[in-house]
Structure 1
Amino acid sequence: MSILLERNTRHYYIFLFGLMGAFVLWTCFLSWFHGKETQDILFAREQTMVSSLMEQGVSPAALANAIKNSQSTGEGMALMQKIGHTDAAPVRFFPAIDQSVHLFARIAVGMVMILMVFLAGVTMRFLWKREKLYCEAEDIIARFSEGDFKKHLPQNENGSIYQLFAAVEELAVALRAQNEKEQQMKTFLKDTISDISHQLKTPLAALHMYTEIIAEEPDHRETVERFSGKTMQSLERMEQLVQTLLKVSRIDAGSIVFRKEKQSVSGLVADAIEDLSVRARMEGKQLLLKGDLQEEVVCDREWTREAIANLVKNALDHTDAGGVITVFWERSPAMFRLSVTDDGCGIDEEDMHHIFKRFYRSKRDSDRQGIGLGLSLAKSIVEGQGGILSVNSTPGEGAAFTIIFLTDM
């Protein structure tokens, strides 16, 4: 019985059974005592009768036969009835028996009262302890509902009530995790809105200025064309910001289901750098691909292409004209690894722990392209597929970003 697993309840039941045993023993003692008292009364009565009859001249042999006789006669019963000694006579007419009955009753009532008081006291203590436990649990659960999880429900014993406490504690842990997640989401939303506002402020201000310039010189074709182009660049930057934020948010919210299939690595990389190759040529930079052309990797093609493209774009942003960006891949028995390396300016030590944060930009990147979301998106994509994105860099010598996917054993 699970109810007996709890220590206090078990002790209470042990007490009840012990009390019942004591009551049975006491009843047996009272029965023996009553029998002994009755025996003494009968013996004293017989002694009195024998003494009286011997004084009246009745022979000892007749008295002995009378005592041993177990049968009654009609004459005897008539005589007993005549003198009023019948089974219908009140007990008070028999002083010795009446005294014995009263003594036995007082002893029995006293013992029952003692047992009842003892039972009531132990029961009250048991219920007091249980009420104290319930009040403590009620207070802790109320704190849980208010978001305070510093105290914990008692779980140091066995029993149904403690099993219930354990279940409530598990629920509280889940509630706490949910509460922390909601707080993180609120903080994230607040920071995201702040970052978006900051990022949109510059292109919006530029759009406002460009519109005013065009409005002031509508007949000046060169000015209109020039600032119309700048307006398009600002709009494209805003669109890129919104689209990238949507992608990052969808991944973080878990609404993206990565469809992992075998892909040709060379085809995947070529697809990722297709548009960036034009930019590299225009900026006088080299894009090199190195790796087994027959190599394959299991991943989501579209999202992995996006991650590689962001890494290559980041390398282009931080490499001067004449620089070389290399995309290299290889497989070992334990993993597949793809690296994007450049010989650009590298990453300062103080920036190494922040480069994957959203909207983070180094102090020296103020004059470079980008909005600080590419690396964050790449990391979310890779880790969302169970991979790892790491970085190594030496300031002034370039940087190397490495995507690792473990091989299924």
Structure 2
Amino acid sequence: MQLPSGWLMTGRDDAWLREQGEILATSFGWGLGLALLLSISFAVFIARRNEARIDRMEQVLHAVGEGRHGLRIRDEGDDDVARLAQSVDEALDQLEAGIASIRQVSTDVAHDLRAPLARLRLRLEPVALDASLPLAQRGEIGKALSDLDQVSETFDAILRLSRMQAGMVEITRLPVNLTQLCQDVAEMLGAGAEDAGQELALELPESISIEGDRELLFQALVNLVDNALRYSPSPARVSIGVHAESQQVVLSVTDNGPGIPDRDLARVRERFVRLDQSRNTQGSGLGLSLVDAIAQIHGGELRLQNLERGLRVEMRFPTL
């Protein structure tokens, strides 16, 4: 600008402003990026944590559905998921208490009725053997005695199962040769299976052993084989097998019968559960419950699996 006395010249240095703007933009960008990264990381952590907690809840509920009523979620948090888990645990406590009450009632009834049934049998047996009694009446008394025997066997099974589930059965762990055990069971049940037009096959190694109570294991295997023979229509093939798998020994019974509906695989090991197709056969619905209890006493587990044709039942035990 020209002035009377000369020229007025002005200038502006904006380098500092540009530098500060660049620094501000860079800082803001890095800060926003870091905040976004931290937010995403925190969100992923929370999501994974909640997913693991929900998975734990699902696992516990699935296990309870399979009969392991003592399991709980035990989430110690203080958020909505923890409150839901605590509510589920409270419901499971009430469910377990109800199941325990039902078991106790059945146990008490079985215990209290054993003596009267035994006395009744002792009174009826001499009458059935009386030669002066008409044949028709003797036949009816014989049927009554047979029914009494079946009821007594059911009560005995209830008491045995209750003692096992209450941890009152102590077993002496000795080496048990499962190969020989299977052969003994096949020898005992093979003749009856052959008479019914069924085949009882063995798939056994030379020798394989576990530690346990031979009498209880024998009883469990007899129950499994008897169930397979009973519910597989003739001509049927039932196979008893033993093999080692990883850190376990697997004792299996496989049949080519109708199997069990998938929806019922979990509940058939509960007390007194009998499927519709088995209502026309004798039984108390305690067989698989006893087998499951015997497997658990030995530190093992019972597994049921439907095949394309038939059912496979496994008792898995830890190796020696």
Q: 1:286 to 1:225 in 2, by over 3 A?
A: farther
1:188 to 2:115 alignment: no
Asked whether the equivalents of residues 347 and 394 of structure 1 are also in contact (C-alpha less than 8 Å), the reply is: no
TM-score (norm 1): 0.47
The answer to which structure has the higher helix fraction is: 1
1:330-369 superposed matches below 5 A: 330-369=243-282
Cα displacement string for residues 337-385 of structure 1 (whole angstroms, at most 9, x for unaligned residues): 1110111121122321211000000112111121100100000000111
Task: Give 1:291's aligned residue.
Answer: 204
Higher relative CO (CA 8 A, sep ≥ 6), structure 1 or 2? Answer: 2
- CA shift, 1:274, in A, is 4.1
Counterpart residue identity of residue 248, structure 1? L
Counterpart residue identity of residue 319, structure 2? T
Counterpart residue identity of residue 311, structure 2? A
Q: Percent identity?
A: 25
- CA shift, 1:219, in A, is 4.9
Counterpart residue identity of residue 134, structure 2? H
Task: Give 2:287's aligned residue.
Answer: 374
Counterpart residue identity of residue 300, structure 1? D
- CA shift, 1:306, in A, is 1.0
Task: Give 2:61's aligned residue.
Answer: none
Q: Select which of 291, 294, 310 maps to 1:398.
A: 310
Range with bigger deviation, 180-189 or 274-283: 180-189
1:97-246 superposed matches below 5 A: 185-190=100-105, 219-221=133-135, 223-246=136-159
Asked whether the equivalents of residues 107 and 162 of structure 2 are also in contact (C-alpha less than 8 Å), the reply is: no
Taking the aligned partners of 1:236 and 1:334, their CA distance within structure 2 comes to 42
1:264 to 2:177 alignment: yes
SS in 1 for 2:211: strand
Structure 1 unaligned runs (5+)?
1-176
Q: 1:187 to 1:281 in 2, by over 3 A?
A: same
Cα displacement string for residues 81-132 of structure 1 (whole angstroms, at most 9, x for unaligned residues): xxxxxxxxxxxxxxxxxxxxxxxxxxxxxxxxxxxxxxxxxxxxxxxxxxxx
Asked whether the equivalents of residues 200 and 238 of structure 2 are also in contact (C-alpha less than 8 Å), the reply is: yes
Taking the aligned partners of 2:106 and 2:133, their CA distance within structure 1 comes to 43
SS in 2 for 1:355: helix
1:55-70 superposed matches below 5 A: none
Q: Select which of 289, 296, 303 maps to 1:383.
A: 296
Aligned length: 219
Taking the aligned partners of 2:306 and 2:96, their CA distance within structure 1 comes to 33
Asked whether the equivalents of residues 387 and 404 of structure 1 are also in contact (C-alpha less than 8 Å), the reply is: yes
SS in 2 for 1:345: coil
TM-score (norm 2): 0.60
Q: Which has the higher Rg, Structure 1 or Structure 2?
A: 1
Asked whether the equivalents of residues 310 and 375 of structure 1 are also in contact (C-alpha less than 8 Å), the reply is: yes
SS in 2 for 1:347: coil
Asked whether the equivalents of residues 179 and 242 of structure 2 are also in contact (C-alpha less than 8 Å), the reply is: no
Q: 1:300 to 1:219 in 2, by over 3 A?
A: closer
Structure 2 unaligned runs (5+)?
1-91
